[in-house]
Every structure is written in C-alpha cells, then in structure tokens.
Structure 1
Amino acid sequence: MFFEGSEKKVEVIIKNASFSLIDNVTDEFWVELVKRANAKILSCIQNKYCKAFILSESSLFVWHDRFVILTCGVTHLVNSVEYFIQEQGIECIEYLTYQRKNEYYSHAQLSCFGDDIKVLNKYIKGNALRFGEMDSHHTFLFYKQGEHRVQNKSYELLAYHISEQASEKFINPNITVQEIRRFLQLDKLLPDFLIDDHIFDPYGYSVNAIKDDKYLTIHVTPQAESSYVSVESNINLIKLSPLILKVLKPKSFDLLSFNEVEFKALIKQYINRQYVSKSLVEQQLKNGCNVHFANYVLPQHNFITATVFDLLEDHNEL
C-alpha cells in the first residue's frame, strides 16, 4: 500500500501585533482552512503560546503572530493559502514561504509547484527557487518579496528508506503510542514537552509536541518501498540528528534550515561520517532569510535484487 509522505509546507507571519491568530481567529476558521487542502483536524493541544493540530495529513501549528501548516498525501495546500488570503486579507501578511519537496510519485498529485505558484502570484509578488538537484532530492521554495522583521530559525530533517527494523516496528498492527514513543526516544528528544500523537489505520504515525513557543512534529510513512519520516521544528534538529539517525537508520536524508548561521559548523560536528553529502546549497533570500539545504546518502556496498512487479496489480510506478 503506497502513501505519499513528502509534504508541502506553508509558513505565514502577520503584521498586526494587536491581532492574534489564537485569540481573534476561531477554530472553525482553521477547520475550514485545513478542509480546503483536502484534509481534516483530528486533535489539538495548546498552551498560551501555541495551538498544535494533528491533521489527517500532517500538522498545523498556530501562534499569535504566525502559523505553519504541513500536508502530505494527495493534498492541495495552495488552496488553504488562498483561503487565508481571501478571508484575512493580503495586507496582513508580512512574511510567507511555500515549500514542496520532491515526491515519490509527483504525477499522482493534484498540482505541481509551478501550478501552485501561479495561484500565489495572483495575490503575492514573490520569488521561486529550487534547492538541490532536479534528478535527486530537492525542495522548491516560493517566498514573498520584501524584508521582514523576524529572523526566526527553523529546521527540517527528512529521512528516506528507514531501516527494516524501524519499518517493521511501525507497521505492527498491535503497536501502541507508548511503544512508539519509547522507540523514537521522545523522552530524550522532547523533555517536558506537551505531546499529542496518533496512529493511523492501516499505517502511519504523527506526533506534535509543544513547550512554550517551541514545537516539534514527526510524521512517519513506514511502508518499506516508500518509507519516509519528516521531523520539523524550531529546535535545533542538527544537534538532535545523531539520536534521530541512530533510531531510524535511513539510507538518505535531507536537512533544511532557515537562519541557522552556524549550519556548516553544525553539520561538520553532528552528522554521522557514514553519510556522504550529495548536495550542499546556501542561499541568502531577498527577504533577509538565510537558507541551507543538504542531502546525504549512505553509500551501498552490496548488490540487491531488482524490484519485481505483479502486472495484474495497480502500481503507482507503472
């Protein structure tokens, strides 16, 4: 059974300091915004700084001055951005980024990155870039033109082809959230965080965690032929990468950071030497942000057999 784990991501920061996306916007608004992407809200946790929603496809985080939404599967996230603009007004947006990772089966999506930015360009003057090689792992990024006041840091660690042990752990039909938390060592990753998590049927796992204004989210697509785990946070994931990689043992992974000026020194210090870098990209955006992208692979030294298809079955690859 195939599921597209690669996510689309939007971050929006608003201008009006007297207007709160938590206090002045109803949950019904966020329900509708998520619905526009072909997803739904499953649960919510919150503190005085942040609301964190687990979605049927990934997560939504809302702070007083910003929100971040990630959606996977066959979702149409640009529709959610358009809904926010139409309801709240383009003039309220100080900062906007829209990202799309390379997908396993991009032809099955409802749109491509080019289609999405045509929609955004109706409302927003922006710039578009690609981080990474087109024939390998890469991320597309669209961002709103103009300087912004907040240089917030964020990090993404995106793991592909996790170990057989990890994959089998997640596809066990009897596994509990407590067992997954122990396997992922969330107590070490997220000490004193408020945690909300969900096991999907038949496969998949999501966790949101918040502490004050800090957040971390993990989404696991465990199926062996298309396994994918995303970890996204405003906590330094490069420093946490040794633990994450030890648990998942992926064959390849990507790192993406916004405004981490020590990126080069950090990857040298923390990334396991078994992994070899395939892409290293640094870009200073015209809105003032500094973005780094790195793709790593674990070199394979042994031959494996080819993938055999049952021609009577439906395969996304064929």
Structure 2
Amino acid sequence: MALMALSGFEGFEKRLELQFFGDDPNIGIGLRQLHFDSIEEVLAAVQCTVVSAVGNHYFDAYVLSESSLFVYPTKIIIKTCGTTQLLKSIPPLLSHAHLMGLRVCSCRYTRGNFIFPKSQPFPHTSFRDEALYLEQSLPNYLCFRKACVMPSRMPSQSSWHVFSASDEHHIVLEQNLDVFTIEVCMTELDPVLGRKFYRRVGDSNSGDVAGKEMTGLTGIGEINPNALLCDFAFDPCGYSMNGMDGSRYSTIHVTPEDGYSYASFECVGSIEDDREMGEMLKKVVQVFRPATVSVSTTSCVGQQVWKRVKNALETVGLSCGSFAVDEFPSTGSIVFQTFTTSRT
C-alpha cells in the first residue's frame, strides 16, 4: 500500500457507492463494459492502481493498491484508504456512464474517523469539505440529499460520516428491500495475530501467491468457504481480499503496524441468511481480536440485522458501548454500533 503519511498509514477507508439506471430495462452488462483504460483513468484521479482482479457472471472485483473496486451492471462501489482522493472519481465515472446511456440515480458516501486527519488532501480535509464537494459534483436532479455524522458515545471510538443523495424515483430501491450492507472497522488488533500479515523476510513470491498464503495462515479462508477469493499481500506488510459469492461481495483490508493497526470487513447479505452473517462476523473478530470495533448496518429491513450483529459480537467478548440510527434517501436506515473488549 503506497502513499504512507509521515505519521503512519491511514487504514480507515472512504467508501463511495453509485447506483445508475438507463432507458433499457434489460441493461445487461452495463458498466461492466468499461474498458480497463477507463478504469485506470478513474483510479488515477483517486491516486491508486489495480493489483489483482477477478470476475463472475454478476460483477467484477478489483483489488487496488489502496483497497477495492466492485463493478456491477448498474452499480459501482469504490473503497480506498491511505491519502487517496476518492471523491475525485465521481466526475470521470459520471462521464463514462453517460456515454453508455446511464444516469446516476443514487449516491452513498461513508467513512469513519481518520487516524491521521491532518494528512488527508482536499476534498477529504474535513467532512464539511467532502459534503460540499459531493453537492457540487452530483447532478441537481439528485434532489433528496442528507449529510450527517452519527456519533459514538465513547470519545475514544470513531463516529460514522454519511452522505446520501437520490433522485425522486429511487428514494428507496425497492428491488433491494431484503438486502443489507455491513461495514466493520477494527482497531488495536491483537499484535500476535497482526504479525501474520507481514511477509516473511526474503519472501520473493508475488503478491497474489503471498496473499493466498496469508489467507490460509490467518483463517480468512474459513470466513465464507463458499466464496471465490482474490487476495493480495503487500510488501513488507498489509493484506487485501475480495470475495465473490454469487452476486454478493465481501472484502477485507488489513494495516497491521503497531500503533495504528486496523482491519476492515464488509459484506452484503439478505434477511433470509442473517444468521449466517452473524457466524461470519464472529469468525472475522476471531481472526483479528481487535480492542475496538465499529459496525455500520445499512438496510431497509428494520431491527433484525443490527440485533443479530450485537448478539454475534457479544458472544465473542465484545460489549456494545453505543448505538445510533438514522434514515437516509435511497438506503433506508443506517445503524451505527461501537464495541470494546478488555484485554488482560
């Protein structure tokens, strides 16, 4: 992972999700038609590159030098860490989509608190700057907009920053009423487990080969055994993984350095298999054994999912310290929970 700040590498990601629509109801491949050089153009604006990629019938997944990119026919998700300028991807993305006959219909931007906020470049210098940049970059017809900071009641833990925008026809995406997204941020990783995300001294393997070794060594491969994994190990340390399970993605990113260790996990699920999601969360926490965890759950299905999150994490020794909930255009409700554990 490149672009390390003088104070250390910024693990907390910025996440951008854009939904599109077109006149053709059978839009088919849609955004997956993007040429690789167009993807590279978008990522150059962000200041990151592709290091590995995989695809299936439903979407394409790219491991980036700074996290992940997922491309569906009518949806793009970009998640980047470090000092990347994620929001600068919006103008080229909208331009490429327009050439394909697609218009953006909703946007969601989320992030936690930066560990090294003073190292962030514009427009990520503050959430106010980010919200203003989003307001100016998105078309005016995305008229249902909301920006807020969902606080943690624990001063030592991250707050959750959310910007959401939608046009009048996509205030809630009805086809996704049973789908939820979970974003997990973990800090103060167990130092012994964190060492597993360092490459061996003298390791001459490629990042892909070393990544597969880390996946097996750490137990990440057991989190969702049904998923096709695309994993990558950075030199001298750090790890990224994208998982593909049918139309659903999962992703993990790890910054293991002492003093600012961080790991994230994100996945998509449905209300029909939320019990399985709880088991996955327990496995994730056991891989890293973090001292602090924050979880954002985005859904339109009410309380069932976030309660499952709380129950799952409490069974592995984490205590819920704060809870916040709010409603956003095009996404339904976002529940933000923070958890801590005591180490002896």
Shorter-chain TM range is 0.7 to 0.9
CA distance in 2, matches of 1:177, 1:121: 38
Matches within 5 A, 1:282-301: 282-287=325-330, 289-299=332-342
Aligned pair partner of 2:189 in 162, 168, 173? 162
Q: Is 1:142 the equivalent of 2:163?
A: yes
Tell which deviates more after alignment, 95-104 or 218-227: 95-104
Matches within 5 A, 1:94-109: 94-109=105-120
- Percent identical residues: 22
Tell which deviates more after alignment, 183-192 or 238-247: 183-192
CA distance in 1, matches of 2:310, 2:152: 21
CA distance in 2, matches of 1:268, 1:167: 24
CA distance in 2, matches of 1:184, 1:293: 27
Structure 1 residue aligned with 2:148: 129
Change in CA separation of 1:61 and 1:288 when aligned onto 2, cut-off 3 Å: closer
What's the CA shift for 1:65? 1.5
Aligned pair partner of 1:222 in 236, 251, 256? 256
Aligned pair partner of 2:20 in 6, 14, 36? 14
CA deviations on 1:157-188 (whole Å, 9 max, x unpaired) are 11111101111221243573343212332342
Contact 2:323/2:338 (<8 A) preserved: yes
Contact 1:162/1:228 (<8 A) preserved: yes
Matches within 5 A, 1:37-52: 37-52=46-61
What TM-score results when the alignment is normalised by the length of structure 2?
A: 0.81
What's the CA shift for 1:232? 0.8
Q: Which runs of 4+ in 1 moved over 4 A?
A: none
Change in CA separation of 1:225 and 1:254 when aligned onto 2, cut-off 3 Å: same
What's the CA shift for 1:229? 0.4
Structure 1: give runs of 5+ residues left out of the alignment: 303-318
Contact 1:94/1:148 (<8 A) preserved: no
Contact 2:185/2:264 (<8 A) preserved: yes
Matches within 5 A, 1:146-295: 146=168, 147-149=171-173, 150-151=175-176, 152-174=179-201, 176-235=210-269, 237-259=277-299, 261=302, 262-273=304-315, 274-287=317-330, 289-295=332-338
Change in CA separation of 1:177 and 1:264 when aligned onto 2, cut-off 3 Å: closer
Contact 2:111/2:161 (<8 A) preserved: yes
Structure 2 residue aligned with 1:29: 38
CA deviations on 1:185-218 (whole Å, 9 max, x unpaired) are 2342222322111111121100111122111110
Aligned length: 301
Name the amino acid aligned to 1:21. G
CA deviations on 1:102-129 (whole Å, 9 max, x unpaired) are 1101010002222122121123442101
What's the CA shift for 1:15? 1.3
Change in CA separation of 1:184 and 1:169 when aligned onto 2, cut-off 3 Å: closer
Contact 1:194/1:209 (<8 A) preserved: yes
CA distance in 2, matches of 1:162, 1:113: 26
Structure 2 residue aligned with 1:75: 84
Measured on the aligned residues, the alpha-carbon RMSD in Å equals: 2.2
What TM-score results when the alignment is normalised by the length of structure 1?
A: 0.87
Structure 2: give runs of 5+ residues left out of the alignment: 1-6, 204-209
What's the CA shift for 1:254? 0.8
Structure 1 residue aligned with 2:63: 54
